[in-house]
Structure 1
Amino acid sequence: MKTESLRALGLLLLMVLMSSGVRAANVDVALVTALEGGVVRMAEPAPLPVQNFVKLKSGDVLALEKGARLQIVYFDGGRQETWAGAGRLEVAASESRATGLPAPQVRQLPAVLVKQIARTPALDVHGRGGVTRLRSIATPEAIARVEATYEKLRSEAAPDDLNPEFYRLSGLFEMRELDRVEQIIGEMQKERGRNPQAGLLVSLYKKALKDARAGAAASR
């Protein structure tokens, strides 16, 4: 009887550990914030093309083609990696493991920025829009804080660095400031029309706005 009880306890513990491992493997750990050239995620039955603004999970393996450039931001720790060239990457919890690639350019992003980048209404691995939780209507003070933080980030960033825009758009979108988000992406189209990454970010939020408004209309 005692042996059977121990065996049952061991089996239960194994099931709990396996379940925890599955949940951990399904957690998003990073976001692709810039992409040029060909990059695929190794999967069965065939590799899947990686797109801008796709969230990555621990254990994902990415193959970069010659001439590719890939920028990833990790949510745990705020490590931003920019990779260039042909080779493979394995996504881990807070940084990548590379095979056949030169060392990346690495930046450590501030926590306030990473928090909002993680809430970007990103695509899944198939290029479909993900679910984004919107807060209740924000106070004027909360909106002002987002704008003030954006101005600080923008003043410290290079002109072609879109991280401040990631922060601002994500923060305002999460607070249901949809008209303001629409205004900002309109300004981005005019001011950054020659920047392909900015154009992709604009397209992402156009789709997110459309989905958010459709969802709001359906719930009335």
Structure 2
Amino acid sequence: MGLGEHCSEEHFMLRENMDEYYSDTKYLQVLEGTKMFYMPVDYTRDIEFFNRESALSYFTEDVGLNAYWYYLNMDYAFFLDGKTFGLNKDRRGEYWLYNVRQLLSRYYFERLSHGYGEIPEFSFLNTIEYGYNPQLVYYNGVGFSYRKNYYEVESYGKYDYYYKVVDFFNRIDEIITKGVYVTYDGKSIDLRKPESIEYIGNIMQGNVDTFDNYFFKFWYMFAHMYLGDVNTNDYEVALMFS
């Protein structure tokens, strides 16, 4: 199966295909008694412009787009072993990178349509000029937290996670520059071959199939924990249930 032939819309309930599920008696039984609430939002009018980037909220807060990304990361969760769950047959690392590339490409097109130009480079060491004030709310009615303008990532807190992430970026930059990586047990991997994109994808997602779990495992999760101000105890509970 080619990367473009993966169709999450066929397996998950999204806004775009909800009518198909409503016509299936199996799902009607599951949804029986479920109360659904809808909050219509007109992103051409009902939006507070926190900064110029807020004009892209219709895209970044799109329900279907965010649902797709959510289901993708549930289907190819970083803690699921590829051999046990058959994810290695789908070239999980390459497929994950493919999806990231697709989303970034569409985001780039939307920026161009507003005259914003290229996507600014992101670094944990630099200040983020444009903050983010989402119009989204959790299921319990509490609004999403916001990021102020000129946000300094390194001043956030939880420095143990911060240093783990920065150390990862230093390592990945070094091995990509060299084109060859030697694992801690002495195995050499040539990253200049086309098929090595699978290795790079596993590293970037930080999943359990990465070729060197000692150095690269779970960095992506640590980055989310740092930005989400998550405690170490929460991490231990998450691993226990996963």
Greater length-normalized contact order (CA 8 Å, ≥ 6 residues apart): 2
TM-score range, shorter chain: under 0.3
TM-score in terms of structure 2 length = 0.26
Considering fraction of residues, name the structure with more strand: 1
> What is the TM-score of this pair, normalised by structure 1?
0.28
Structure holding more helix per residue: 2
